[in-house]
Structure 1
């Protein structure tokens, strides 16, 4: 019986994907189903790379999302995709810098332009991923129904099946599901959103904020803002104020924040277990 061919070492995999020799490659640990590396290509370009141990298709989806976000005129900065192939994603390295209030305000203005660039529909033409969790990006016409069907319901079932939520928890969230249309506020056109915009996915470079690790799709623009608020971000008040000035938000947004936070909280329950159950249920109760 033939033995499986061993995977190439990370530097070799990165070199093959980038069609370039790798001058240096330093491991940075791991995240979810991939190992992380930084180094330098033969032409001197510094890089950050992910090499999949599994769930390789998620890296291809991430690359497509970064390129799509980069197409938004004047929008928020994202790292350049240097290569994406066979479970390897190679990005330009972002040299991190201290965040300041003006950089935060500029992020708010540029994020508004990303959202204004729009999308053909809610969802996307490609499958999506949130870490190692699949996202159903089947296109839809109206956000409330799409969000309930493609984001909340699949993850609610997953959390129940993993025994992270009990029957009473599920019943509470099903009550919210039945009211999404009434809770969603005024209709909005599909926005070009990052889709996983927690504070850790905002790097502060010397020229301002750079957004990484997207789950990009056509979504509701309030989702990105609610995600920033969920776990916090430097100078969050400046980000939100500058955003609202550039692209005013519909009245009543504050009351809708828990609705947009339900999906990332459900995802955290699925990924990390019952430690995220309490904030999930608290968000649900604030909507009822």
Structure 2
């Protein structure tokens, strides 16, 4: 059965960030992910993980100036020093949190930068980052993100991400397969799961409903079917990763996340004390 992780950047928004760990654990999640931990000391987050018996599944390396619209630095020539500094900070957090997966965002291609130049920079930075992460036993994730939500993002399609990995040739760099982004950009999600998961190049999944990005059982995707496909293929190829619940609860306000978890109960997320 797929292991579901709560994305604490989107779920339990009625709580302060450090209090979301307790809320997720109470609802029965065993793992957590989020975008960025850097506003809080790693030791504080590690304490919350230990207190609530949670596994840190994934987080992102620093993306540059998020408020100014930057969404990663890896494909941006001239930003290598900042990229390397951010990667080292992320690896420090990964060690403290015992996190095995780190998402490295590619970035938005600026006007005037040729795609070939952005790709060459991306590969150079990933090759360097893979070496740094490998010494610590960390796997790097690259994620195709749809161009509707993130216009101009360098990496948008599954086939392009896998082509990068084939050229890179680093065993500790994998694809973060977000079913929401895939459906928006490409569709045919189940077929892509069946095609790419057995390659060993998929290290993490994420889910959300399409098109509103609410609970995965809302909208045009059939979450039980798709989780079943992941489960079926995983048993034959040895996939041991997680499925991150990266969606915005349809019910805003206190208790909204918990009220929307009926779909997750079918997949092993049961309130503690009830299992």
Q: TM-score, normalised by structure 1?
A: 0.25
Q: Which has the higher helix share?
A: 1
Structure ranking higher on relative contact order (CA contacts 8 Å, 6+ apart): 2
Larger radius of gyration: 1
Q: TM-score, normalised by structure 2?
A: 0.26
Q: Which has the higher strand share?
A: 1
